[in-house]
Amino acid sequence: MRHLNSSYLTVLFALALIPRSWAGEHSTETPECKEITARIIERTNTHFDHFSPSGGSVFFKRPDMVLICDPKFVTYISLSWDASSFPSNQWFVLAAAAGSAVTGVDRKELEAAARRCHRVALKETDEQAGIVLPKTTVGCQAFAKNGGGVVVDIGIPVRKN
């Protein structure tokens, strides 16, 4: 695991946020995104809720998560925890299972990376951290103010066109 410096994280998070609104039009209809969606449902027992208006994101509920899927650019799962700055053990297990469905990376490896990312983000002044593994990236934001919260994104590294 490699910890990322703050300036690299700013770029990583900026790139990760772009696809939420700019993911390829109807990219969730591609065979790759349909397969990932099916794996997420199977491995996490979540339920399909809706597609984004652009068709670039899939929203799930019970448990809540979002798949941003554009096979030509970036694909990742995003989960948030709003109850405090310290998610439950089950939440980290869920994040790892969803991340594995997206990336194919071992769940235990992803869980360890998400936990490490969380710990580092809590110590950072910008509340962000990232971990780069050989086949995936784990980005997170964690904060304690205003009741606390955590966001973890696990995905396939950004593709260059």
120-147 residue pLDDT tens: 999 999 999 999 999 999 999 999 999 9
With respect to residue 137, please indicate whether it lies within any of the assigned structural domains: yes
Looking at the structure of the chain, the number of domains it has is 1
Residue 17 lies in a domain: no
Residue span of the structural domain in which 142 resides: 27-156
Say if CB 72 and CB 61 are below 8 A apart: no
33 near 75, Cβ under 8 Å?
yes
Q: What is the pLDDT of residue 35?
A: 97
CA–CA separation, 19 and 89 (whole Å): 29
Give, for 47, the enclosing helix (H) or strand (E).
Answer: strand 47-51
Q: Residue 4 falls within a domain, yes or no?
A: no
22 in a domain, yes or no? no
Residue of 9, 12, 11, 18 lying closest to 125 (CA atoms): 9
- Residue 157, pLDDT above cutoff 90: no
**Helix %, strand %, coil % of the chain (to 5):** 45, 30, 25
- Model confidence at 57, pLDDT cuts 50, 70, 90, reads very high
In a domain, 59, yes or no: yes
pLDDT value of position 159: 65
Instruction: Band the pLDDT of 160: cuts 50, 70, 90.
Output: low
* Residue 9: pLDDT band with limits 50, 70, 90: very low
**Confidence at residue 21, expressed as pLDDT on a 0 to 100 scale:** 42
Instruction: Evaluate whether residue 71 is within a structural domain.
Output: yes
For residues 50-57, give the mean pLDDT.
Answer: 94
161 pLDDT band, cuts 50/70/90, is low
Reply yes or no on whether the pLDDT at 17 is more than 50: no
Measure the CA–CA gap between 91 and 12, rounded to whole angstroms.
23
The average pLDDT across 40-60 equals 96
**Confidence band, pLDDT 50/70/90 cuts, at residue 25:** confident
Domain assignment of residue 81, yes or no: yes
Helical (H) or strand (E) element with 61:
strand 57-61
Rg, Å, the chain Cα set: 14
Q: Is residue 19 part of a domain?
A: no
Average pLDDT estimate for 100-126: 97
